[in-house]
Structure 1
Amino acid sequence: MVERSVPQQSAAEPILESIEAASRATWRDFVEVTKPGINKSNLFATFAGYLLAARFALFDWSTLVFTLLGTALVIAGGCAINNYYDRDIDPLMERTKSRPVPDGRLKPKTVLWYGTLLTVLGTLALAFGVNLLSAALALVGFGVYVFIYTMWLKRTSTWNTVIGGVCGSVPPMLGWVAVTNSLDLNAWALFLILFMWQPPHFYALAILKEDDYRRAGIPMLPVVKGLKETKKQTLIFTLLLIPSSVLLFVTGAGSWFYLICSLVLGGVYVALAVKGFYTDDQVKWSKQMFFYSLIYLTTILLVMMLDVVITEGIAMLTK
C-alpha cells in the first residue's frame, strides 16, 4: 500500500497570500473602513450645531472647514480602528462579513495605523484650526467609541447601545463649541437630542438583525432581554427625546417654529413606539421605527438650520 504524501505549506506561501490579499485592496476599501455613511450623518449634525451657534453674524468659512475636516478625520479614524478590532466578529455577521478586513482585502495592522493617523490629523486640525476645546471633545467621543464601546461594552453588556450613544452625540456639540468655545446649556441640549435619539434607532436595527447579533455573540438588548423589554426602553427614550428637543427653545436658541416642529416630530416618534405594543408584525414595525428614526434626525437638524435662516432673515428685515 502506497501512502499519499500531504503537501506541506512552504514558508513563502503565507507571504504570497498576504501580498495577494494586499493587491486586491483599492482606494474604495480605505474609504469603506471609515464608514462614510456614518461620517456623513455626523458631519450634517456638526454643521447644524455650527450654524445654530454662529447664525449669520459669526459665520466663518475657514472655521467651518476646519471643524468639518477635523471632525470627519477623527470619526473616520475611530471607525477604521473599530474595523480593526472587530475583525474576529465581523466574519460572523451577514452585514459585516464582506468588509475589507474580514474579507482579507486590507491587513489588520494597516487599518490600525491608518485609523491612528486619521485620528491624529483630525485632532490637530481641530486644535490648530478651531480651538482646543473642540479637539478635546472630539477625543472624548473617539475614546468612548473605541475603548468603551468597541473594546468593552459591545461585547459584554446591553448598555452598549446607550453608553455608546455618547460618541454619536458629540458632533453637534463640536459644531457649537467651534463657534462659542464653551460647553453651555445649548451645547448640552444638542447632545441630549442625539443621545436620546440613538437607542430607539439602534434598537430597531438590533431587532431586524437579531440573528446576526446572536450568531456573533453580541449582547444587544433584543438578544439578551427580548422584544418586550426592547419596546419598553424604546418608548422611554422616545418620550425623553421630546423634552430634550424642547430645551433648545427654552434656552432661546430655537424659535416657536423650531418648537412646533420638534413637538410634531417627537409626537409621531412616540406614537410609533406605542404602536409596537399592539402590533403582531414585529419586522414591519421595526422597519417603520428604523426608517422614521432617519427621517426624525434629518428633519430636526434641517429645522434647526431653517429656524436660523428664518429668524435671522426676519431680524434683518425689521432693522
Structure 2
Amino acid sequence: MKRFLANTTVKSNQKNTSIIADLKALFKAVVLISNVLPVFAGFWLALYFTNTSFMDYWQVFLLTIIGSTCIMAGALLLNNWYDVDIDSVMKRTQNRPTVTGTISLQLVFLMGVSFSVVGFILLLFVSLEAGLYALIGWVTYVFLYTMWSKRRYASNTLIGSLSGAVTPLIGWAAIAPVTHIVPITLFLLLFIWQMPHTFAIAMKKHDEYKAAKVAMLPVVQGFQVTKRHMLLYILCLFPLPFFLGSLGVPFLIVATLLNIGWLMVAIRGFFTKDDLKWANRMFIFSLNYLMIMLVMMIIVATF
C-alpha cells in the first residue's frame, strides 16, 4: 500500500512538472519576462520624470503590467501556433507542446486570441495611447513578423524588433503622453539592441534556421555580413546614453562603458576562428547589457 501511494505521488509530481514545463515552453517564459521588464521601466521612469507618486497610480500599474503581459503572452502563443512546422525542425523547439501534441493547436490558438483580447481590454482601461502601442507591437509581431516576413526576408529581424521596442512606450503612456525624450530614447535603445542580440542567436542556431528555411541574415548572407551589421548597430547605440543625461553622470559613464565593452567584443569577431563561440559571447553580453541598463534606470528613478 505504501509503495503504491509512493508510486502514485511520484507519477503525480512528474505529471505536474511536465505540465509546468509545457506551459513555460508554450508561453516562452524567459522571452515574456524580458519583454515585461521594459514596460515596468517605462512606467517607473514616467513616474520619476512627472514627479508622480506610485501610490496614486498603483491600480494603473497593475492594469498596465497584467494587460501588457496578457497581450504579449497572446502574441507568443499565436507565434507558437503558426510556427509549429518550423519548431518541429529546429532542435531547440522540438519539445514545445505544439510540436509534441500535448496541447492541441486549436487550444493554443484560442488561448492566444483570448489572452490578446483580455490584454487589449485591460490596457484600454489604462489609456488609449498605451493600448495603441500594444496594438502596434502585437500586429507587428503576429502578422508582419511571424506570418509575413520571417520565412521570406532577411529583414525580418528589423521588422520584429519594432514589436519589442514599443514595450517601454506602453509603460510610459500609462502615466503620460510619449512626448518626452526619455521614452523615445528607450524605444530606440530597445529597437537597436535587438538587432545584434537576435543576430547572435541566429548565428548560434544557424544550422537549425537553415534546415527550417527561415530567412535569418546569417543563413541568407553569411557570418561576415552579419558581423558587419552587428558592429554597425552597436555603434548606433553610442549616442543614446547622452539623451538620458538627466539620469545622472554615473548612469552615463556606465552606459558608455557598456557600449565600449560590447563594441570590443564585436570587433573580436572579425579575428576569431570559432564563430559559434564568439556568437555565444555576444549573446550573453547582450543579455547583461540590457539588464544592467534597465536596472540602472529603475534604481535612479527609485532613489
**Fold match (TM-score > 0.5):** yes
CA offset at residue 227 of structure 1? 0.8
Match of 1:185 in 2: 181
Q: Which residue of 2 aligns with 1:172?
A: 168
AA paired with 1:122? G
Question: Which of 291, 313, 316 does residue 284 from structure 2 map onto?
Answer: 291
Match of 1:76 in 2: 73
Aligned to 1:247: 243
Q: Distance in 2 between matches of 1:49 and 1:200?
A: 22
Task: Give how far 1:34 is off.
Answer: 1.8
Shift of 1:107: 1.3
Question: How far does residue 186 in structure 1 lie from its aligned partner after superposition?
Answer: 2.2
Residues of 1 paired with 2:19 and 2:295: CA distance? 35
- Mind listing any 5+ residue stretches in structure 1 that lack a counterpart? 1-24, 311-319
Which 4+ stretches in 1 moved above 4 angstroms? none
**Could you report, residue by residue, the CA deviation over 1:131-180 in whole angstroms, capped at 9, with x for unpaired residues?**
11101110110000000000011100110111110001111111111111
For 1:238, the aligned partner's letter is I
* Paired AA for residue 57 in structure 1: T
Residue 245 of structure 1, CA deviation: 3.4
CA distance in 2, matches of 1:123, 1:96: 28
Structure-2-length-normalised TM-score? 0.89
Counterpart for residue 317 of structure 1: none
* Pick aligned residue for 1:145 from 141, 161, 184: 141
> What CA distance in whole angstroms lies between the structure 1 residues aligned with 2:20 and 2:222?
41
Which amino acid in the other structure matches residue 83 of structure 1?
N
Which of these residues, 166, 189, 212, is aligned with residue 216 of structure 1? 212
Tell me by how many angstroms 1:306 deviates: 1.6
> Do the aligned residues in 2 keep the contact of 1:51 with 1:305 (CA within 8 Å)?
yes
Hey, what's the Cα distance between the residues in 2 that align with 1:27 and 1:262?
37
Higher mean alpha-carbon deviation, 240-249 vs 220-229, is at: 240-249
Q: CA deviation at 1:27?
A: 5.9
1:279 aligns with 2:272: yes
1:124 equivalent among 121, 131, 135: 121
Are 1:200 and 2:193 an aligned pair?
A: no
In the alignment, the residues of structure 2 paired with residue 183 and residue 92 of structure 1 have an alpha-carbon distance, to the nearest angstrom, of 44
CA deviation vs aligned residue, 1:40-65 (integer Å, no higher than 9, x gap): 11111111111111026332221111
The one-letter code sitting in structure 1 at the alignment partner of 2:273 is D
Name the CA distance, whole Å, in 2 between partners of 1:238 and 1:47.
Answer: 24
Structure 1 residue identity aligned to 2:267: V
| Cα distance, 1:28 vs structure 2 | 5.0
- The Cα of 1:97 is off from its aligned counterpart by 1.2
Partner of 1:102: 99
Q: Aligned residue pairs: how many?
A: 283
Larger radius of gyration: 1
SS in 2 for 1:155: coil
Aligned partners of 1:131 and 1:181 also within 8 Å: no
Is 1:32 the counterpart of 2:28? The answer is: no
Q: Which amino acid aligns with 1:94?
A: K
Task: After TM superposition, give the deviation of residue 216 of structure 1 in Å.
Answer: 0.2
Query: Is 2:53 aligned against 1:58?
Result: yes
Deviation at 1:89, TM superposition (A): 1.3
Q: Match for 2:113: what amino acid?
A: T
Q: CA deviation at 1:243?
A: 1.4
Unaligned runs of 5+ in 2: 1-17
Q: What RMSD over aligned residues (CA atoms) do the two structures have, in Å?
A: 1.6
Inter-partner Cα distance in structure 1 for 2:21 and 2:95: 13
Q: CA deviation at 1:278?
A: 1.4
% identical equivalent positions:
37
Amino acid at match of 1:204: A
Instruction: Work out the CA distance in 2 between the residues paired with 1:281 and 1:166.
Output: 31
Aligned to 2:295: 302
